[in-house]
Amino acid sequence: MLRCVVIGMLIGTATELVARTLRLWIYRQRHTPVLNVVIVFGLIMGALASRIRPLGLPLVVGIAVGVGLVYEIGNLRVLKWWDFPDERLAFIRGHAAIVVVLALLWGAVPVMIVGVQAVIPRVSETVLGVSRLERLNQRERQLTRKLDGLRERVRAVETQLDEVRTLKQTLIGRRAVRRLGSSDANPAPTP
């Protein structure tokens, strides 16, 4: 869902930049476009996009159109956060027509989010030249080589330890033989 929210915010940012450049609508307060991008494009439309798979495309698009319709009517009647210069949106004239067109465009936002999300893995694979699975395979090979190296070091240390223990046993055996030999050379005095 987080990915959908971020993509929704990116789409919202692009939309607001185009609208500002073309003067499609004008905000009355500077913070309103930020709220629009974060809340409506990001949180609401991103959440709806994340629910397309379980709910189905028609239902999610219908909900998005409904949300867009309520949002646009709410702005015209109550909120008054933005205005359409001369009651026009590009070639569309009149508030009723603008509200209907924008509601339909709001319905397209979750579909665009899912479309962008589907393209992102392919783009990252193309840009990076490596898929996520391939990166995991590479990491697995690195760790396997490292583990093999550590096992080889363990075998080398075990070999050295065996050599030390063999030398130690040899030394202990020689001392035992000397003690026996020295006690035979000096017989105990008899009374």
Enter the tokens of residue 157: 């240390």
22 confidence band (pLDDT: 50, 70, 90): very high
Give me the sign of the Cα torsion angle 37, 42, 44, 48.
positive
Q: Is 64 exposed, middle or buried (0-12, 13-18, 19+ CB in 10 A)?
A: buried
Q: What is the pLDDT of residue 127?
A: 55
pTM: 0.62
For the segment 143-176, what is each residue's pLDDT rounded down to a tens digit? 999 999 999 999 999 999 999 999 999 988 888 7
Distance CA 110, CA 5 (A): 10
Distance, in Å, from the CA atom of 87 to the CA atom of 84, rounded to the nearest integer, reads 5
Region 104-111: mean pLDDT is 97
Alpha-carbon distance 140 to 149, whole Å?
14
pLDDT at residue 95 is higher than 70: yes
pLDDT band at 179 (very low <50, low <70, confident <90, very high): confident
Q: Smallest Cα–Cα separation from 82: which of 34, 134, 133?
A: 34
**CA-closest candidate to residue 66, choices 18, 110, 11:** 110
